[in-house]
Amino acid sequence: MSPREHFALRDYLDPGLKGRTLSDARHAASLTDIADHTCLRGRLAELSGRSVLLSVTSQFLASLVMLEIDGIARRMLLCPPDLNADHLQAIIEDAGIDAVVADLPERFSASGVALVVTAGEELKAAPRAQTERATEWLMLTSGTLGLPKIVGHTLEGLTGAIVAGGPERGDQPVWATFYDIRRYGGLQIFLRAIISGGSLVLSEPGEALADYVARLNQKAVSHISGTPSHWRKLLMSGAASAFSPKYVRLSGEIADQAVLDGLRQAFPSASIGHAYASTEAGVGFAVNDELEGFPAEMIGSNRDGVEMKVVDGCLQIRSRRAAHAYVGRRAGALTDSDGFVDTGDMVELRGKRYHFVGRRGGIINIGGLKVHPEEIEAVINRNDGVRMSRVKARKSPITGAIVVADVVLADGCDASRGNDIKSRIIADCRATLAPHKVPAMIKFVDRLDITAAGKLARSDA
Amino acid sequence: MSVRLKIVSAIEQIAAEQHVVLPPLEDNLSLHETGFDSLAFAILVARLEDDLGVDPFTMSADASFPLTIGDFIKAYENVPA
């Protein structure tokens, strides 16, 4: 076999590994011979060298298309399912899109993109395509306000943490994720499933959590990832009791001690780890000691080629796994002149460990004092009567704003104990936080909204 | 419970949370002498807004903050709830 210049996803699919599947509730495909099939009705060659927008409804179909067009298209832009249609035209122009792959092609009839290729879940046999180039992978940031940023990655950068981790040993893993695979956190699981072997179980659009978890059980999922909000939701649903994954991973939000402890209780034999990653900075690091935050000695260079520093309390990362650029007409610089990505995530050194305290952009101002809602939520969540919480600012004619908290009680926690729990939360907060950070009001709510990207919705942040 | 009683009860609750020892809440006690800081007053006004449905200090642009307990209670009693 002659040395190959570029590797694409198809080149990682080992035809010798049998029994690997990609599935959702209604479809299943064999990963063993998927490279000998097409979901594009044989029109792959038309996408050669094109900048392709990938807009399909299901994660299952998105997987098929990614596997097929990687290494053929010049660029592929992954549209998450919640993409605001008002932003589509600007994204098409910014990314220089000249082809669309869609399951609902009529949506693109007025887009000005001449080439629209229809994708469908039915696979047809087709000659295995030869990888032509290293496709640029474009992802969208998950900011809830305004136009998302387009972030450019290479497959090599996206898979840096996977290849560094080496192939999976022992039984073939069965992968799943609460993220959408068109988001950075979900894409990591998709890529791990393709590259490290094993199978992947995807959720359906709009599928109820309990139904997805039932399938995870049925398919004996061993490795699963999600945000702390996804996991809190699972712990609250009562669906976790029948589920026993071996490897549980959290990322995308601050993993506080309460959610780590909650998962340990729910999954006594699982390996539980939290990872730091972002669409821009890539996978930074993983922490496996089941404690919140990360050891201070991780600052500096580590052996995976990731370098971290803290500047004005904010984590900065230089890494080969980071994105290489923002893409678009008004795109700013992704890194500083030394190649560091400013993550916007604020950390605080306590003893020998750094703790995440919140987003720089999410700071609320209480009478001139800065407060990170996440720092207060972490203290509230430690109370064993609490499942999750959201802290926000409320306007005040006296101090400008005060801190208030919405709290979801843990299962089996009787609302009649409300006053008792409120007093304990306030006492805990007073014991560990500055006075202006102690919630002035605590309201019990049935649920807290989670965004399509799996993060706690902070409408006022 | 009357508006006055609700206000007094909210003040006592916050004083307990903030470990503030209150002097007797006479009408002519100046708010400064209660031992409450601005944060404690901010909490009080927010809780009373939820409880009584009014915040007399943001409702009118020319509202000036009262100086005594009596004035503070009057500000709530004078607002149609």
Total domain count for chain A?
2
Residue A440 has its nearest CB partner, among B42, B55, B57, at B42
With H, G, I as helix, E, B as strand and everything else as coil, classify residue B49: helix
Q: Which of A10-14, A111-115, A183-187, A374-378 has the lowest mean pLDDT?
A: A10-14
Whether residue A27 is contained in a domain is answered as yes
The overall average pLDDT reported for chain A is 92
Residues in chain B whose Cβ is within 8 Å of chain A: 17-18, 38-39, 41-43, 45-47, 50, 55, 57-58, 65
* DSSP-derived secondary structure letter, A318: E
pLDDT confidence of residue A461:
40
The enclosing domain of A388 has a CATH number of: 3.30.300.30
Mean pLDDT of A401-416: 86
Q: Are residues A390 and A246 in the same domain?
A: no
More confident residue, A238 or A441: A441
Mean pLDDT of A352-369: 89
pLDDT in tens, A111-162: 999 999 999 999 999 999 999 999 999 999 976 667 899 999 999 999 988 8
The enclosing domain of B25 has a CATH number of: 1.10.1200
Query: Domain range for residue A406?
Result: 363-444
Element (H, E) at A306: strand A306-311
Contact state of B39 with A441 under an 8 Å Cβ cutoff: no
Other C-beta atoms closer than 10 Å to the C-beta of A106 total 9
Among A350, A381, A404, give the residue marking a domain's end: A350
Of A234, A153, A193, which is closest to residue A20 (Cα–Cα)? Answer: A193
Q: Are residues A28 and A176 in the same domain?
A: yes
Q: Are residues A126 and A225 in the same domain?
A: yes
Query: Cα(A249)–Cα(B60) distance, rounded to whole angstroms?
Result: 52
Q: Are residues A343 and A370 in the same domain?
A: no
Of A209, A261, A274, A271, which is closest to residue A240 (Cα–Cα)? Answer: A209
pLDDT confidence of residue A168:
58
- Looking only at the bridges linking them, the beta strands covering A199-201 and A174-177 are parallel
pLDDT in tens, A269-292: 999 999 999 999 999 999 999 999
Whether residue A390 is contained in a domain is answered as yes
Please provide residue A196's backbone torsions phi and psi, each rounded to the nearest 5 degrees: -90, 0
Whether residue A129 is contained in a domain is answered as yes
Q: Are residues A326 and A272 in the same domain?
A: yes
pLDDT confidence of residue A378:
95
- The letter for the amino acid at B45 is V
Q: Are residues A215 and A192 in the same domain?
A: yes
Other C-beta atoms closer than 10 Å to the C-beta of A358 total 25
Query: Domain range for residue B63?
Result: 3-77
* pLDDT above 90 coverage of chain A, percent: 76
Q: Are residues A238 and A213 in the same domain?
A: yes
Helical spans, DSSP H, in A239-333:
257-266
Assess A435–B contact: CB distance below 8 Å, yes or no: yes
Please provide residue B35's backbone torsions phi and psi, each rounded to the nearest 5 degrees: 90, -5
Structure tokens at A385: 């009567």
pTM above 0.90, yes or no: no
Among A286, A321, A350, give the residue marking a domain's end: A350
Which residues of chain B lie closer than 8 angstroms to A430, CB-CB?
Answer: 17
The DSSP result for A360-403, as a single string, is: GGG-EEETTEEE-HHHHHHHHHTSTTEEEEEEEEEEETTTEEEE
Of A338, A335, A324, A336, which is closest to residue A156 (Cα–Cα)? Answer: A324
The enclosing domain of A236 has a CATH number of: 3.40.50.12780
Confidence of residue A166 (pLDDT cuts 50, 70, 90): low
Element (H, E) at B22: none
Place of tokens 């952009």: A361
Whether residue A356 is contained in a domain is answered as no
Q: Are residues A24 and A63 in the same domain?
A: yes
With H, G, I as helix, E, B as strand and everything else as coil, classify residue A150: strand
Contact state of A441 with B57 under an 8 Å Cβ cutoff: no
Q: Are residues A70 and A15 in the same domain?
A: yes
Among A329, A350, A371, give the residue marking a domain's end: A350
C-alpha distance from residue A459 to each of A33, A87, A198, B79 (Å): 45, 20, 39, 31
pLDDT in tens, B2-59: 999 999 999 999 999 888 999 999 999 999 999 999 889 999 999 999 999 988 887 6
pLDDT in tens, A282-325: 999 999 999 999 999 999 987 778 999 999 999 999 999 999 99
Helical spans, DSSP H, in A117-207:
155-158, 160-165, 184-196
Which residues of chain A lie closer than 8 angstroms to B42, CB-CB?
Answer: 367, 396-399, 402, 440
Residue B39 has its nearest CB partner, among A397, A430, A435, at A435
Residue A394 has its nearest CB partner, among B17, B38, B46, at B46
For residues A4 and A128, the answer to whether their CB atoms sit within 8 Å is no
For residues A423 and A387, the answer to whether their CB atoms sit within 8 Å is no
pLDDT in tens, A35-52: 999 999 999 999 999 999
Please state the separation of Cα A163 from the chain's center in Å: 19
Residue A402 has its nearest CB partner, among B43, B57, B65, at B43
Whether residue A2 is contained in a domain is answered as no
ipTM at complex level: 0.85
Whether residue A384 is contained in a domain is answered as yes
Place of tokens 């949370």: B17
Q: Are residues A243 and A382 in the same domain?
A: no
Q: Are residues A274 and A383 in the same domain?
A: no
Total domain count for chain B?
1
Q: Are residues A320 and A406 in the same domain?
A: no
